[in-house]
Amino acid sequence: MLSPERLALPDYEYLAQRHVLTYMEDAVCQLLENREDISQYGIARFFTEYFNSVCQGTHILFREFSFIQATPHNRASFLRAFWRCFRTVGKNGDLLTMREYHCLLQLLCPDFPLELTQKAARIVLMDDAMDCLMSFSDFLFAFQIQFYYSEFLDNVAVIYQDLLSGKNPNTVIVPTSSSGQHYQRPALGEAGMLEGVEASLFYQCLENLCDRHKYSCPPPALVKEILSNVQKLTFYGFLVALSKHHGINQALGALPDKGDLMHDPAMDEELDRLLAQVPGLVNATSEASCLPSRTSSRVGSPWRPLHHSRKVDTESDGSTEETDESET
């Protein structure tokens, strides 16, 4: 309530911009959906739980895609949920195809569109090798960029296209995501791969875009950092750089660093416990205990506050305990 933007906007717009309205609407919607059940344990309790889960990022589990992509927080929550649930798949060392990753995504979000997965895969793979296998981390980071900055990237594609063809991109009316994709692919395949565009000019356009863009964008400083290293670059070169950039991942705050991607001690503990319950199991626990236990005090909480990615958080400790209780 005290942030400076608060005063710059009328209340309603402010709430809308901060997606508070989205959550309020959704909460009411959920209430409506399950009113018999919820009325039994109290509407106040429901709202508490709802907003708690929003804070923890667990509200997106098994929700419809339209809701999952509705807010940056939801997107980040989804990314994090995906990482937490399927970290073990990556840890197992399996290389999977795009379609298989898509299936995993669909386990969390039944109507997750194939298109997004395909786009993410295209960042990792060449155009003609879409059936190839990808490692979990490659896919995850590419997917993060594609999913979180989806609209931004669509616009970047248009700008890139215009730069390639020599048009002044600033005159372009920024299209919405759906219209942007259609003419993106073919031309990129031909010329884009070979030469790319001038990095500095590209940056100017992107900066311009970030300014007017109402969706989330990567921090301009980091974009600048990426683009300042090279003279020319291609669209996919840019995307790859984005996906691999440590700072952007941190800024996004949904996933740990690449090096720590496989570490989630709390969940590992949980997994050990689950493995011990597998019927007729003998030596699973001993095997599981061989896993490298991190000395790091970072706790795999359902949600770490964004932008404080590397801090130990006492609150999250509490929440972990809570989940433990409910599970065991």
Partner 1 sequence: MIPGKYRSVSGRAANNVNCGLHLVIQTSTLPEKNKTEFRFSRDTSPFPGRLLQHDLERNYSSRQGDGRVISPSPRNKSSFISSTTNVTELYGLDMKTTTSSFSAFGDCSIQTPFKSRLRQGCHSAGPNVSGDHINLVSSSLPSFPILQRSSEEKSLYSDRLTLERQKLTVCPIIDGEEHLRLLNFQHNFITRIQNISNLQSLIFLDLYDNQIEEISGLSTLRSLRVLLLGKNRIKKISNLENLKNLDVLDLHGNQITKIENVNHLCDLRVLNLARNFLSHVDNLHGLDSLTELNLRHNQITFVRDVDNLPCLQRLFLSFNNISSFDSVSCLADSTSLSDITFDGNPLAQESWYKHTVLQNMTQLRQLDMKRVTEEERRVASVVAKKEEEKKRESQKQSLLKEKKRLTINNVARNWDLQQRVSNNAINADRKDCASPPRDSCQLDGSTTSSLPAETGSLDSGLTSALQGLSVTDTHLVEIEGDTLSLYGSGALECLDRNWSLQTAGMVTTISFTFIEFDEIVQVFPKLKIKFPNSLHLKFKETNLVMLQQFNALAQLRRVDQLTVDPQGNPVVNFTLWKYYVLFRLSHFSMQKINGTEVTQNDMIMAERLFGILAHVASSELPQYRMISILGDARRKQFRYLLETKGKKPGIASEENNDSKRVMGENTNRATLNYTTKEWHNEKLEEIKEKKKFCQMYVEDLVKEATDINMKNEALQKLWPQMFIELVRDAVIEIRNKNTYMKVCLQQITDQK
Q: Does 328 bind partner 1 (CB under 8 A)?
A: yes
Using H for helix, E for strand and C for coil, what is the string for 104-154? HHHHHCCCCCHHHHHHHHHHHCCHHHCCCCECHHHHHHHHHHHHHCHHHHH
CB neighbours of residue 300 within 10 Å: 20
Q: Does 312 bind partner 1 (CB under 8 A)?
A: no
DSSP state of 246: H
Nearer to partner 1, 225 or 270 (CB): 270
Q: Does 304 bind partner 1 (CB under 8 A)?
A: no
Cβ neighbors of 119 (< 8 A, separation 6 or more) are: 146
* Nearest distance from C-beta of residue 90 to partner 1, angstroms: 10
Question: Where does this chain touch partner 1 (CB under 8 A) — which range of 106-114, 135-143, 241-249, 306-314?
Answer: 106-114
Q: Does 172 bind partner 1 (CB under 8 A)?
A: no
Q: Does 187 bind partner 1 (CB under 8 A)?
A: no
Q: Does 94 bind partner 1 (CB under 8 A)?
A: yes
Candidate residues 55, 72, 116, 181; the one interacting with partner 1 per rule CB under 8 A: 181
Cα separation, 291 vs 272, in Å, equals 10
Structure tokens at 56: 């923890």
Size of the site for partner 1 (CB under 8 A): 82
Tokens 């299209």 correspond to what residue?
A: 175
Candidate residues 5, 17, 39, 115; the one interacting with partner 1 per rule CB under 8 A: 115
* Nearest distance from C-beta of residue 26 to partner 1, angstroms: 8
Nearer to partner 1, 113 or 220 (CB): 113
Candidate residues 6, 99, 167, 311; the one interacting with partner 1 per rule CB under 8 A: 99
* Nearest distance from C-beta of residue 11 to partner 1, angstroms: 4
Show the binding pattern over residues 259-288: x = contacts partner 1 (CB under 8 A), - = does not: --------x--xx--xx--xxxxx-x--xx
* E-strand stretches of 157-254: 197-198, 232-233
Candidate residues 19, 21, 72, 177; the one interacting with partner 1 per rule CB under 8 A: 21
* Nearest distance from C-beta of residue 165 to partner 1, angstroms: 18
Task: Please give the span between the terminal C-alpha atoms of the chain, in angstroms, as a whole number.
Answer: 39
Nearer to partner 1, 84 or 224 (CB): 84
**Residue 201, CB half-sphere, CA atoms under 13 Å: how many?**
17
Show the binding pattern over residues 116-155: x = contacts partner 1 (CB under 8 A), - = does not: --x---x----xx-xx------------------------
Q: Does 257 bind partner 1 (CB under 8 A)?
A: no
Burial 31-51 (b: 16+ CB within 10 A, else e): eeeeeeebeeeeeeebbebbe
| Rounded-to-5 percentages of helix, strand, coil across the chain | 65, 0, 35
Candidate residues 12, 231, 259, 295; the one interacting with partner 1 per rule CB under 8 A: 12
Candidate residues 68, 69, 79, 87; the one interacting with partner 1 per rule CB under 8 A: 87
Show the binding pattern over residues 27-66: x = contacts partner 1 (CB under 8 A), - = does not: -xxxxxxx--xx-xx----x--xx-xx--x-xx-xx-x-x
Using H for helix, E for strand and C for coil, what is the string for 156-182? HHHHHHHHHCCCCHHHCCCCCHHHHCC
Cα separation, 107 vs 284, in Å, equals 26
CB 249 within 8 A of CB 277: no
